Amino acid sequence: MKKKQINNHKSKVLKFRNYTFIIIPIFFLSILFYLYYDTKKNETEVHNFHKYIKEYPKGSLSEYANDILNWFYAKNLNTTISYNNYIDNNLNFIIEAKHELQQLQYDSTMIVNTTAAIRQFMVKYQTGENWELAKLQLAELVKDSTTLVEKIALETIAYKLAKKESTKTSFQKYLENFPTGIYEKDAKYIIGILDSLDFPVMVLISGGTFKMGSDSGEIDEKPIHSVKLSSFYIGRYEITNLQFSQFLNVYGKSTDDNGYTMIFETSGKNDWGLDKSGSMWKAVSGYEYYPVINVSWYGANQYCKWLSRVHP
Q: What pLDDT does residue 90 have?
A: 63
Q: What is the pTM of this model?
A: 0.47
Task: Supply the DSSP string of 187-216, one letter for each residue.
Answer: HHHHHHHHHT--PPPEEEE--EEEEE--SS
User: 167, 310 in Cβ contact below 8 A?
Assistant: yes
Q: Domain ranges in the chain?
A: 202-310
**What is each CA distance from 39 to 36, 87, 97, 129, 194, in whole angstroms?**
5, 25, 21, 30, 54
Dihedral of the alpha carbons of 142, 146, 152, 156, in degrees to the nearest 10: 40
For the chain, what's the residue count?
Answer: 312
Q: What pLDDT does residue 286 have?
A: 85
Q: Where are the alpha helices (DSSP H) in 128-195?
A: 129-142, 148-165, 168-177, 184-195
Q: What pLDDT does residue 208 have?
A: 92
Q: What pLDDT does residue 244 have?
A: 92
Counting Cα atoms < 13 Å in the Cβ hemisphere of 37 gives: 6
DSSP structure class, residue 60:
T
Q: What pLDDT does residue 47 have?
A: 59
Q: What pLDDT does residue 16 have?
A: 45
At residue 288, the 3 state secondary structure works out as coil
Q: What pLDDT does residue 86 have?
A: 78
| pLDDT, tens digit only, all 312 positions of the chain | 544 444 554 454 444 455 545 555 554 445 444 444 444 444 555 656 666 666 656 665 667 677 777 777 777 788 888 888 877 776 677 778 887 888 888 888 888 888 778 877 877 776 666 777 777 777 667 665 556 666 777 788 888 888 777 888 888 888 888 888 888 888 888 888 888 778 888 899 999 999 988 888 788 787 888 889 899 888 888 999 889 998 998 888 888 878 889 998 765 666 678 888 877 888 888 888 899 988 999 999 999 988 888 876
Q: Per the omega criterion (within 30 degrees of 0), is the bond before 223 cis?
A: yes
